[in-house]
Amino acid sequence: MEKVDVEFFQNFSFSGDLKTVCALGNFDGVHLGHRKIIATLKEKAAQHGAKSCAITFDPHPQKFLKNKTVHLLMPFDERLALLEKSGIEMAVRLEFCESLSLMPPERFIKEIMVEKAAMTAIVVGPRFGFGNKRRGNVDLLRELGDKFGFETVVLEPAMVGGERVSSSRIRELILTGHTDEASELLGYCYYIKGVVEEGEKRGREIGFPTVNLKTRWEILPKPGVYATVTEIEGHGRERSITNIGNRPTFGGGKTVAESHLLDAEGNFYGKKVTVEFVKRVRNEKKFGSADELSRQITKDIERVRDVLEKKTGDK
């Protein structure tokens, strides 16, 4: 996938005979709703003899415009990696700035999408908004398509369980611990990535050594214990039990993500790790002693093995 990084949109343009069919958005999580758009995007690109192109923004517009804390599902580079896996041919990062935010809808479509991105068609959802204060909508987009000669394709939203799939809904599910439901909306098992760092070795002291994860992910699941699958660079995938929390039995502290591998042990410091969250097992709890915690972890592991066998077929 060709990646185009645009710090100043005024300098952005595709040269030569290149034509594109575009989708425009944040694509946070690249969930089922995004994937529905991407599938149609690729079909339309083939029909138009054009490149399929996702145009996305960094930073997130709400972070820039409202100085709002928006905890994204994943870092920008991971978003690009998922877009590449989807089969899109081009991805453009537009740096969101004040001048871009102030562009009227028609000017945005004409100068950015038609003249610079060489767009011959655009694929959007029914709630698509664009231009200054999102004043542009799908009706205006269709009018501009007739005026500037591009096709407008408006898709119905992806629905799961009667609810519209959205990044905000997925964030809510993760923050409330419903990672299995979040995975259904994502279309893949929800995960976080990071690097193994040295911890306080509390787990090792009670017989359950852990892989401690240093991560760039902005949100973590609700504190608690989860059935997970952990993939370690150079080692492979292992069934695991993961605790998200501040370890209240040992006096609390900062929130950490630590995974105990059920069937493996080793020195993995500095290795890249992916932790897939299959299902939440229980809340985080303060125990009266380390021995009491150890007994509970033994019970948790039995439940985690059962969950993973049912969900993934792993025994």
Angle between helices 179-186 and 167-175 (to 10 degrees): 160
User: Which alpha helices (H) appear in 87-163, and where do they start and end?
Assistant: 98-101, 105-107, 138-148
Instruction: Please say if the pLDDT value at position 315 is more than 70.
Output: no
Residue that the structure tokens 């991560």 belong to: 215
Q: The pTM is what?
A: 0.89
User: Which of 55, 50, 18, 51 is CA-nearest to residue 34?
Assistant: 55
Average pLDDT of the segment spanning 21-42: 96
Strand 211-214 relative to strand 191-197, pairing: antiparallel
Q: How far apart are CA 75 and CA 104, in angstroms?
A: 29
Residues 87-143: tens digit of each pLDDT = 999 998 888 877 888 899 999 999 989 998 999 999 999 999 988 888 999 999 999
Question: What DSSP character marks residue 190?
Answer: -
- Which CATH superfamily includes the segment(s) 2-160? HUPs (3.40.50.620)
Q: Which three-class secondary structure state does DSSP give residue 213?
A: strand
User: Which of 290, 304, 313, 311 is CA-nearest to residue 224?
Assistant: 304
Please answer whether residues 264 and 293 qualify as being in contact, where contact means their C-beta atoms are separated by less than 8 angstroms: no
Q: Compute the chain's Rg from CA coordinates.
A: 23
User: Which of 90, 83, 77 is CA-nearest to residue 14?
Assistant: 90
Please answer whether residues 41 and 123 qualify as being in contact, where contact means their C-beta atoms are separated by less than 8 angstroms: yes
CA angle 188, 193, 198 (to 5 degrees): 145
Q: Which three-class secondary structure state does DSSP give residue 130?
A: strand
pLDDT band at residue 79 under the 50/70/90 scheme: very high
Residues 129-154: tens digit of each pLDDT = 988 888 999 999 999 999 999 999 99
CATH 2.40.30.30 boundaries in the chain: 190-312
pLDDT band at residue 227 under the 50/70/90 scheme: very high
Task: State the pLDDT at residue 210.
Answer: 85
Task: State the pLDDT at residue 134.
Answer: 86
Residues 259-307: tens digit of each pLDDT = 999 998 888 999 999 999 999 999 988 787 778 888 888 999 999 999 9
Cα 52–chain centre separation: 20
CATH for 190-312, options being 3.40.50.300, 2.40.30.30, 3.90.1150.10, 3.10.20.90: 2.40.30.30
